[in-house]
Chains A and B, each alone.
Chain A
Amino acid sequence: MTAPALPPTQGGDATTSPQRHGRLAAWLLSPTFLVLGLIVLYPLIASLRESLYRKEEGLDENGFVVEGDNFVGVENFAQMFQGDTADRFWNAFFNTTFFTVVGVTFATVLGVAMALVMHHALRGRGFVRASILVPWAVPTAMSAVLWQWIFQADGVANELLNTQILWTTEGFQAKIAVLIADVWKTAPFVGLLTLAGLQVIPNDVYEAARVDGASGWLQFWRITLPLVRPALMVAILFRVMDVLRIFDLPYVLIGPRKQSVETLSMLAFEEAGQTRYGPAAAYATMLFVYVALAAYAFVKLLGADLIGEARVRTKEAKKRQREVVAA
């Protein structure tokens, strides 16, 4: 990663001073921030506020619901970790994490394999690419219905495996059914992003390796993988953030309120469905925090270079500033 060559700056030149630049940029970006504030910040704050309230639950003597919202502080959050709801919450938390770790791992391995095939396919290249991308184009709820047909008691899965597994009942097999459907759908996405990364690797690197006598495996391990890493990391990060919110697959394929596959977003949906918006918002907020932490950790630990260029530019600017000051 080399920084783009920047024109040398003269100290005191007002028109190109970084500060001027920044202010102009802020002005140009302000409409974007305004829109982001409206469609991102406002719902976020509204949802946070909602999570601190709870609806009246009692009935009056005529059997009518007593109306109004009560401020309950962090009680909606505290409730999550008490008694039965705690079991349910931790179970959902575990399921969510399990689907994320296992699902993303398989999707990545398969996706990279698909990308290599798409990259190397000489004949019928367009056809191979298009057919690999089909699962990604199917809406998730639709694919859940399709997989339901495959996994039903007298479905194709049991027919092919010659078994009588009841995939959609409680148990580990339900998790596997969800994972299979999820990986089938999302591996092409990873494959597509990886393919984009593969296509920018210059061919002469491989030629040099071949001249040096590197085997195919060594080329993949030492050249392809390191060079495709930035693109792959972005794909994985997107997948992680996506799977942490997984809802439609387990909900449609296996069914609501089945412990084996209940995830955090299903809990939030369930509460909202019973018009308990406070606890629902609390669950959604917890999920948000989890997703944000996971994304942050991912960027920090594995160095997914989402914001790499920006960082380089800032560093460069800082260096220049220091030079200016020193001069």
Chain B
Amino acid sequence: MIAGARVRTAALLAVAALVLTACGDDGGDAGGGGGGGGGSTALEGRGPITFATGKDTSGNMQKLVDEWNADHPDEKVTITELPESADDQRNRMIQNAQTESDEFAVLNLDVIWTAEFAANRWITELPQGEFELDQFLAPAVETGKYRDKMYAMPVYSDGGLLFYRKDLLDAAGVTEAPKTWAELTAACDKVKAAPANKNIGCYAGQFDKYEGLTVNFSEAVQSAGGSIVDDSGKPTVTSQEAKDGLNFLVEAKKNGQIPEAAITYKEEEGRRAFQEGQLVFHRQWPYQYALANATDGSSKVANKFGVAPLPGKDGPGVSTLGGHNFAISSFAKNKATALDFIKYFASEDAQRSNLLATSQAPTRTALYEEQELITKFPYLPTLLASIENAVPRPRVVKYGDVTAAMQEAAYGAITGEKSTDEALETLQSELEKLTAE
């Protein structure tokens, strides 16, 4: 019997192993001692460093790093490529911070992670005076700050644009891109009046339940004059403006202006629909411009569309900011080198080369006005207007929970499962809990 029991125990333990591998045990103590610490430690030490970033899809990052390495033989930078998904990148960086490893020196952070990383002392405060911040897009600089101290330097920016079918609007006699939601609806009705366009969708954005919905929802609220949190960080989603904003999406979905399928759209699904000619208006990031203009047959709308700033309730809309900031890990050695490297990546030459290679939006204002670049990327002036007017997403430590709550509320309301009021009241009480200190 003893042998039997032992075998059985072993079998159960094997089950345990399977469970644990699947659930990804964090492998060790969370938290632990402070160490490192953010704050006012001087950035010292020179020598080789690593740069942890998401995928370098164009190879331009490597090119810039190679140029840096040629000029700085004693302070060589190595790129550590992290997984492609943003969540996985964040997890890897958090693991690195929790083991207080000096493996990563410079971190390529999504704009929404700054508060969490700064509050946990995972990244070091940066000297504001050394960056010529006045030459950068003001809203982008804001995303690198936590409690008025600078923790991350904006290197890539992003803002929402309204892509519209110029050919269809022209044919329907609409000469200008809509500036308000009412104009957008009216223009779409005119387009749909033509029998050939009877089944075309009016408007879509990113409405699946993920970060894109947070962006679209907060844009709707801001474009109606509301806000998610006020200047002091208190949630304000039960205001009339916030209700009007969400109601625009809810109503448009209800009366079919937002097509049914749009509830499954992330960036790529929406882009395919726009390129197939299934949408009149599409809220999208600038990356769609080149792809939708491809003349190799992949896009049916090449040279048939234009871009405009996002529309709002009573006037121009307010975009939500995207982009990436560079920060220095608190546990890194050679912080002085890291600081120089960030300055190098934020320099005008590096940003220009990046824009040309990847079409990622720069954070230096001057580049948006260079004639040569505008010829290549005609949407740059529109994008500049969009970003200068844009609002960062709530800068809170528990951003992961905040965005989950926002997605829950918006998804429930747009799919018609909850009323707008109900969704926003639940959201308000949850945000109050999450932002309470």
Contact = CB atoms under 8 A, between A and B. Distances in A.
Contacts of A287: 19, 23
Given A268-B24, A307-B7, 10 more contacts: A59-B397, A166-B264, A245-B22, A247-B23, A255-B209, A288-B15, A295-B15, A296-B12, A311-B4, A318-B1
Contact of B30 (A245, A268, A277, A296): A277
A169 B264 contact: yes
A56 B32 CA distance: 11
Contacts of A55: 30-31
Contact of B120 (A65, A68, A166, A288): A65
B169 to A, nearest CB: 24
A318 B2 CA distance: 11
A34 to B, nearest CB: 13
B83 to A, nearest CB: 12
Contacts of B415: 169-170
Given A272-B24, A295-B15, A36 B10 contact: yes
A265 interface: yes
A241 B28 CA distance: 26
Given A273-B87, A313-B3, A268 B23 contact: yes
A217 interface: no
B17 A62 contact: no
A170 B408 CA distance: 11
A245 B408 CA distance: 24
Contacts of B38: 64
B269 interface: yes
Contacts of B335: none
B130 interface: no
Given A153-B269, A255-B210, A62 B147 contact: yes
A166 B261 contact: yes
A96 to B, nearest CB: 12
Given A47-B25, A152-B264, A310-B7, A59 B119 contact: yes
B20 interface: yes
A56 B30 CA distance: 11
A287 B11 CA distance: 16
B26 A272 contact: yes
A247 B26 contact: no
A247 B13 CA distance: 21
Given A166-B261, A310-B3, A257 B209 contact: yes
B8 to A, nearest CB: 6
Contacts, number: 159
Nearest to B26: A277
B114 to A, nearest CB: 12
Contacts of B404: 257
Contacts of A280: 23, 26
A311 B7 CA distance: 9
A41 B18 CA distance: 12
B408 A64 contact: no
B364 interface: no
B17 A284 contact: no
Contact of A68 (B26, B31, B401, B437): B31
Given A55-B31, A310-B4, A46 B25 contact: yes
A245 B16 contact: no
A4 to B, nearest CB: 15
30 contacts: A36-B10, A40-B14, A43-B17, A46-B28, A50-B29, A55-B31, A63-B146, A65-B397, A69-B31, A152-B269, A164-B260, A164-B261, A168-B208, A245-B19, A256-B210, A257-B404, A257-B407, A257-B408, A258-B209, A273-B91, A278-B30, A281-B25, A283-B23, A284-B19, A284-B20, A295-B15, A307-B11, A310-B3, A311-B4, A314-B2
A255 B87 CA distance: 13
Given A269-B23, A274-B400, A288-B19, A41 B13 contact: yes
A183 B234 CA distance: 48
A311 B264 CA distance: 53
Contacts of B32: 67, 69
B94 interface: yes
A63 B4 contact: no
Q: Which of B22, B27, B272 has the most CB of A within 10 A?
A: B22
A116 interface: no
Q: Which of B3, B94, B397, B407 has the most CB of A within 10 A?
A: B3
A206 to B, nearest CB: 34
A196 interface: no
A306 B208 CA distance: 44
Nearest to B34: A67
Contacts of A272: 23-24, 26
Nearest to B273: A154
Given A168-B208, A275-B94, A56 B22 contact: no
A59 B32 CA distance: 16
Contacts of B17: 39-40, 43-44
A65 B11 contact: no
Nearest to B3: A314
A256 B88 CA distance: 14
Contacts of A168: 208, 264
B20 A314 contact: no
